[in-house]
């Protein structure tokens, strides 16, 4: 499975919606994912791709990992896979 | 001082998944102790327990809830649902603002600790699920109960090992009696039947490999159980005004500390808790008909408890019925006093004394009427429930028929 569809699957699962309702432009906030849901999504991403996502819930905006949309999350994962493999 | 009554009860344990099933098991003297089933059980030398086998969490909770609810929280919420539904109370406005939750647990989310230690130590994983902490904490069940029913009053968890839920219910009683809140939700829960939970107890060498036989001369130790029981404690006039069904009255309580030994019980500490509880309830020793014993089935507890009862009740001790339902559901540790309160309800409301099953041989050091093996019909006006914890912390409740 490619990175994008796996990310969409994780996010849809977290937001309890269909994967077809998640697009590249979707934001986690827009899909109703709260702060607990966010850390759970990051955990699921780490498990799925065997990477470590730099994220501190105290400073969510200062993370080098851009969580603003599905597209930026996919890009971030691609970068981390390259760096950490 | 206000009078306090119980207007709702709920439980789940190895002999019943609600109060009526549990009461039927008490009446039949049914044993819920069986072979334990969980990962690595073959590495234990103790392989029995009062485990709830036919409980399917995913039939009660969704995936999101399960990611936050340790088994001890799940059991709490099942029991709370039954209790609150029976009470008929709906919590909003001032009632919601004043009603709180006090629960007892000794270990909290033990299997969450166990599963995640296994993941990082044994399986070498370097990350755990983000909800490990909120799932395992000792107040998780209390907080989820509070959130689910909108209970915003005094809310906390009490942890005093095997006396946790008696201490918790004593606190809830005190809050209602002192008019701080008209209603409190209280009880306790425990679920430590997992590899690490049983392995730790095994180390103490106080566990039986075959059965829990309290007060019987051939008793050879305690058997762990799991479960929860939750009650709605309500101020009498509040309950009457709304025409609530009153199950029984909570009359008094006392707590004491042995200040002696971290595991061995003291007769004096237990006796002080019992006599102070009777004094608090203003009940004469002759009026007590039933004692739900701590009765763990260990050599030390049972003889100390019988001796404390004999000291407090004098000649009347021979007329009192005292039984240990741990013989059926096992020792539910921090939740045990709560589940055992169901046996007190059975005695007071239905006039049936739950037996001490597995009783085979009389022990001269436990020469009381332990209601051996078969339930008995008897009219009881007052009942007491004993809990004597490791660490020498004792809590005794006194209840009255309505």
DSSP A49-75: HT------TTSGGG-SS--SSHHHHHH
- Whether the pLDDT of residue A85 is over 90: the answer is no
Active site residue B331: yes
Instruction: Compute the mean pLDDT over every residue in chain B, rounded to the nearest whole number.
Output: 98
Residue B287 pLDDT grade (very low, low, confident, very high; cuts 50, 70, 90)? very high
Shortest Cα distance, chain B CAs vs residue A40, angstroms: 6
| B112 and B234 belong to one structural domain | yes
| B235 and B299 belong to one structural domain | no
In the predicted model, what is the mean pLDDT of residues A47-64?
88
The first and second tokens of residue B153, run together, are: 């009053």
Contact B130 A47 (CB under 8 A): no
Domains by residue range for chain A, with CATH: 3-84 (1.10.1200.10)
**CATH number reported for the structural domain that contains residue B293 in this entry:** 3.40.47.10
A34 touches chain B (CB under 8 A): no
Sign of torsion, CA B68 B74 B80 B85? positive
Residue A1 pLDDT grade (very low, low, confident, very high; cuts 50, 70, 90)? low
Asked whether residue B88 is assigned to any structural domain, the reply reads yes
- Whether the pLDDT of residue B362 is over 70: the answer is yes
Contact B127 A43 (CB under 8 A): yes
Contact A40 B127 (CB under 8 A): no
| B263 and B362 belong to one structural domain | yes
Residue B250 pLDDT grade (very low, low, confident, very high; cuts 50, 70, 90)? very high
CB B228 within 8 A of CB B187: yes
pLDDT of residue B342: 98
| B129 and B236 belong to one structural domain | yes
| B235 and B306 belong to one structural domain | no
DSSP annotation of B122 reads I
| B28 and B113 belong to one structural domain | yes
If one counts every other C-beta atom within 10 angstroms of the C-beta of residue B261, the result is 13
How many folded domains does chain B comprise?
A: 2
Q: Which backbone phi and psi does B251 adopt, to 5 degrees?
A: -100, -30
The first and second tokens of residue A34, run together, are: 């709260």
The bridge status of strand B183-190 relative to strand B100-104 is parallel
**From the centroid of its chain, how far is CA B79?**
12
Which residue in the list B31, B162, B306, B344 is annotated as catalytic? B162
Model ipTM?
0.85
Last residue of some domain: B219, B241, B263? Answer: B241
pLDDT of residue A63: 80
pLDDT of residue B66: 96
In the predicted model, what is the mean pLDDT of residues B221-238?
98
If one counts every other C-beta atom within 10 angstroms of the C-beta of residue B70, the result is 29
A19 touches chain B (CB under 8 A): no
Asked whether residue B247 is assigned to any structural domain, the reply reads no
In the predicted model, what is the mean pLDDT of residues B184-196?
98
Last residue of some domain: B196, B215, B241? Answer: B241
Shortest Cα distance, chain A CAs vs residue B316, angstroms: 58
In the predicted model, what is the mean pLDDT of residues B134-158?
98
- Distances from the Cα of B286 to the Cα of B188, B383, B402, angstroms: 30, 11, 18
| B210 and B148 belong to one structural domain | yes
Active site residue B60: no
Residue A62 pLDDT grade (very low, low, confident, very high; cuts 50, 70, 90)? confident
Last residue of some domain: B241, B276, B305? Answer: B241
If one counts every other C-beta atom within 10 angstroms of the C-beta of residue B392, the result is 21
Instruction: For residue B360, give its domain range.
Output: 253-400
Active site residue B294: yes
CB B338 within 8 A of CB B231: yes
Q: B255-283, pLDDT tens digit by residue? A: 999 999 999 999 999 999 999 999 999 99
| B315 and B186 belong to one structural domain | no
In the predicted model, what is the mean pLDDT of residues B335-356?
98
pLDDT of residue A46: 95
Shortest Cα distance, chain B CAs vs residue A42, angstroms: 9
| B118 and B181 belong to one structural domain | yes
| B212 and B312 belong to one structural domain | no
The first and second tokens of residue A69, run together, are: 């949309």
| B237 and B257 belong to one structural domain | no
In the predicted model, what is the mean pLDDT of residues B147-170?
98
In the predicted model, what is the mean pLDDT of residues B13-37?
98
Q: How many CB pairs under 8 A join A and B?
A: 15
DSSP annotation of B178 reads T
Residue A84 pLDDT grade (very low, low, confident, very high; cuts 50, 70, 90)? confident
A9 touches chain B (CB under 8 A): no
Residue B174 pLDDT grade (very low, low, confident, very high; cuts 50, 70, 90)? very high
In the predicted model, what is the mean pLDDT of residues B335-347?
98
């Amino acid at each position: 499975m490619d990175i994008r569809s796996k990310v969409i699957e994780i996010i849809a699962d977290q937001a309890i919606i269909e994967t077809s309702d998640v697009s590249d432009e979707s934001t986690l906030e827009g899909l109703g994912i709260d702060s607990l849901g966010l850390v759970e999504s990051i955990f699921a991403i780490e498990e799925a791709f065997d990477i470590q996502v730099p994220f501190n819930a105290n400073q969510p905006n200062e993370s080098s990992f851009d969580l603003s949309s599905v597209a930026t999350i996919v890009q971030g994962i691609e970068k981390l896979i390259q760096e950490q493999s | 001082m206000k009078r306090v009554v119980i207007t709702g009860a709920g439980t789940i344990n190895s002999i019943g998944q609600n109060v009526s099933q549990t009461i039927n098991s008490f009446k039949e003297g049914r044993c819920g102790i069986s072979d334990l089933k969980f990962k690595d059980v073959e590495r234990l030398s103790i392989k029995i327990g009062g485990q709830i086998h036919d409980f399917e969490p995913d039939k009660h909770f969704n995936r999101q809830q399960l990611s936050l609810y340790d088994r001890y929280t799940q059991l709490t919420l099942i029991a709370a649902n039954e209790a609150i539904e029976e009470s008929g109370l709906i919590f909003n406005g001032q009632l919601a603002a004043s009603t709180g939750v006090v629960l007892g647990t000794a270990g909290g989310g033990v299997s969450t600790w166990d599963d995640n230690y296994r993941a990082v130590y044994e399986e070498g994983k370097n990350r755990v699920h983000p909800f490990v902490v909120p799932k395992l904490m000792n107040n998780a069940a209390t907080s989820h109960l509070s959130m689910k029913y909108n209970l915003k009053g005094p809310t906390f968890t009490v942890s005093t090992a095997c006396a946790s839920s008696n201490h918790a219910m004593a606190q809830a009683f005190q809050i209602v009696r002192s008019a701080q809140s008209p209603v409190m939700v209280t009880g306790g829960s425990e679920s430590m039947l997992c590899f690490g939970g049983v392995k730790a107890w095994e180390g103490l060498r106080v566990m039986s490999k075959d059965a829990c036989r309290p007060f019987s001369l051939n008793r050879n130790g305690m058997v762990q159980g799991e479960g929860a029981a939750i009650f709605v404690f309500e101020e009498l006039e509040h309950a009457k005004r709304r025409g609530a069904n009153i199950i029984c009255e909570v009359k008094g309580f006392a707590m004491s500390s042995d200040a002696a030994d971290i595991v061995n019980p003291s007769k004096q500490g237990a006796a002080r808790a019992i006599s102070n509880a009777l004094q608090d309830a203003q009940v004469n020793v002759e009026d007590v008909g039933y004692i739900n014993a701590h009765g763990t089935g260990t050599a030390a507890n049972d003889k100390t408890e019988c001796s404390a009862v004999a000291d407090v009740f004098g000649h009347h001790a021979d007329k009192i019925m005292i039984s240990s339902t741990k013989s059926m559901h096992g020792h539910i540790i921090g939740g045990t006093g709560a589940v055992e309160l169901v046996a007190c309800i059975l005695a007071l409301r239905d006039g049936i004394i739950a037996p001490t099953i597995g009783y085979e041989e009389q022990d001269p050091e436990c020469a009381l009427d332990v209601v051996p093996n078969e339930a008995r019909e008897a009219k009881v006006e007052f009942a007491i429930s004993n809990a004597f914890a490791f660490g020498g912390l004792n809590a005794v409740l006194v209840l009255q028929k309505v």
